[in-house]
């Protein structure tokens, strides 16, 4: 500090703690009105100036206690994949709560998403920032892009819009899953997932394609099989091709679980006849028989990064974090058969 006055100087002069001084100067609760006035008067008397003040005209952010952050999720993701997103939502909400920021949750109905109707938390000005979890349509992104409050996407992005986002490294995840199968001797590898349903699935598919290309393996279009209607409504009927690969990369553990169940119903053994890998390392990957080899998504880190970015966006008008990528790691379980001995190198 240029004038050398610190909060400690104020605290020592008044015989209070530095925390009390900090709370009083920041307008936070926990300090009596009388003590708050005394601290502010002493600060002015000593010439104390906050370290983040560049000029007297700098805009002050609202006190943390008064802040609310909205979390939006399309109803498409509240059903079958709800458990994954609910955990992510809960983690973000808990971390915001620890910072005295309240969470307001709202589900976007299919009708409102199609019509571009904004949620009431925005129209009624109930929140100071918005976090959207899970894919939403490009039309609705266009609608949200015009709001003036901080906006953050989690687990998806859209290249047409310069909107901050936090994502798992789906491209690399799709690659390392496919490469793991290649290392285990598999040469005929399919992909289960509706490729353009979400940006995450698309990236996982592209990682799968990159690995096939690098290993000079043939891509079979008939082995890329959709698992859902539109963006997220899972198709209950899984159709397999006549000629099957030796392994499938699935876009999620949930889809992998359903694929394994469908294979079993046809008398196909996993992994003895066909190997299957998933993505997320969510609960279903461990309760499935066999347990599913997958990529672990660090949900806690995704939540922490999301909260950190949103707080900064509310604190600093114009702050831009860009696209934050959270790395994952391969978790080897029991759904893959090593057939490398079947090929002569």
Look over the chain and give the mean of its residue pLDDT values, rounded to a whole number.
Answer: 88
Report strand pairing: 294-296 vs 329-331. Answer: antiparallel
pLDDT at residue 43, rounded to an integer: 85
- Answer yes or no: pTM beyond 0.75: yes
Residues 125 and 258: their CA atoms lie apart, in Å, by: 42
Where residue 224 falls (left for φ over 0; alpha for ψ -120 to 50; beta otherwise) is beta
Neighbours of 246 (CB within 10 A): 19
Q: Domain 1-60: give its CATH architecture.
A: Orthogonal Bundle (1.10)
- Over residues 209-268, the pLDDT tens digits come to 999 999 999 999 999 999 887 655 566 788 899 999 999 999 999 999 999 999 999 999
CATH number for the domain running over 65-167+299-327? 3.40.50.2300
Q: Domain 170-297+331-337: give its CATH architecture.
A: 3-Layer(aba) Sandwich (3.40)
Identical topology for domains 1-60 and 170-297+331-337: no
Quick one: DSSP state of residue 59? P
Please say whether the beta carbons of 314 and 128 come within 8 A.
yes
Give domain limits for the chain. Answer: 1-60, 65-167+299-327, 170-297+331-337
DSSP string covering 270-322, please? TTTT-EEE-SB--THHHHSSSPPBEEE--HHHHHHHHHHHHHHHHHSTT----
1 falls in which pLDDT band (50, 70, 90)?
very low
Mean pLDDT of 35-42: 84
> Considering only 13-22, 175-184, 195-204, 289-298, which range has the smallest mean pLDDT?
13-22
20 falls in which pLDDT band (50, 70, 90)?
confident
- Over residues 122-151, the pLDDT tens digits come to 999 999 999 999 899 999 999 999 999 999
**Residue 65 or residue 170, greater confidence:** 170
pLDDT at residue 14, rounded to an integer: 87
pLDDT at residue 69, rounded to an integer: 97
């Amino acid at each position: 500090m240029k004038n050398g006055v610190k909060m400690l100087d104020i605290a020592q002069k008044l015989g209070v703690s530095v925390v009390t001084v900090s709370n009083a100067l920041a307008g936070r609760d926990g300090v009596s009105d009388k003590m708050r006035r005394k601290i502010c008067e002493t600060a002015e008397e000593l010439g104390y100036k906050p370290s983040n003040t560049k000029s007297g005209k700098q805009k002050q952010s609202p006190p943390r206690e008064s802040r609310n952050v909205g979390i939006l999720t399309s109803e498409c993701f509240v059903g079958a994949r709800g458990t994954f997103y609910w955990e992510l939502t809960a983690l973000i909400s808990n971390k915001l709560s620890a910072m005295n920021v309240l969470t307001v949750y709202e589900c976007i109905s299919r009708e409102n998403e199609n019509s571009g109707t904004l949620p009431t938390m925005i129209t009624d000005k109930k929140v100071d920032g918005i976090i959207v979890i899970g894919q939403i349509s490009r039309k609705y992104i266009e609608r949200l892009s015009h709001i003036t409050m901080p906006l953050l996407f989690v687990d998806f992005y859209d290249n047409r819009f310069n909107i901050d986002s936090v994502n798992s490294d789906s491209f690399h995840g799709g690659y390392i899953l496919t490469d793991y199968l290649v290392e285990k001797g598999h040469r005929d590898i399919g992909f289960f997932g509706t490729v353009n349903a979400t940006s995450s699935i698309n990236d996982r598919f592209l990682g799968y394609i990159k690995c096939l290309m690098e290993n000079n393996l043939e891509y079979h279009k008939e082995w890329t099989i959709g698992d859902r209607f539109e963006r997220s409504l899972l198709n209950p009927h899984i159709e397999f091709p006549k000629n099957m690969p030796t392994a499938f990369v699935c876009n999620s553990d949930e889809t992998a679980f359903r694929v394994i169940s469908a294979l079993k119903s046809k008398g196909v053994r996993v992994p003895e006849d066909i190997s299957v890998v998933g993505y997320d390392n969510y609960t279903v990957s461990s309760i499935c028989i066999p347990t599913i080899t997958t990529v672990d998504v660090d949900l806690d880190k995704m939540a922490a990064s999301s909260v950190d970015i949103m707080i900064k966006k509310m604190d600093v008008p114009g702050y831009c974090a860009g696209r934050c990528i959270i790395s994952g790691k391969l978790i080897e379980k029991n759904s893959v058969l090593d057939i490398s001995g079947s090929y002569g190198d």
